[in-house]
Structure 1
């Protein structure tokens, strides 16, 4: 879902360092979802759970759910006013 909803490239931070996420992929069960990032020291792959996204974005909202699924504390994410739950 995060691949479908994230317009790449996108901004993120890794250990408080700004990076640009250029791709997101699921490589294997042990590693989980990984992101290819470009930062001030070069490019490489990191686990998606290690990144933080701007809190007002759809990506941050999905990322928070992913971290919760992994049993990690979600990073801040704020729903935008136009986001609503579907009515049943």
Structure 2
């Protein structure tokens, strides 16, 4: 499944796709969210869970330029693509 196809899925379908085909990598705390990182094919996907409201707010591909990367890099070694 391409990035574009994944982005067009509903939130429920994204959850289902990650549950069936994704591999959980790590969870971090980021402000009001618990962010679960999954590997889906060759792409990393973040799931933003708002524990105070008991809901998933967002599912999106990992932005490797975001400052949030430092939290992941402290725990795991992500492949850096050139």
Where on the TM-score scale, by shorter chain, does this alignment land: which range? 0.3 to 0.5
More helix per residue: 1 or 2? 2
TM-score normalised according to structure 2 size: 0.38
Q: Please say which structure displays the higher CA radius of gyration.
A: 1
- Give the TM-score normalised by structure 1: 0.36
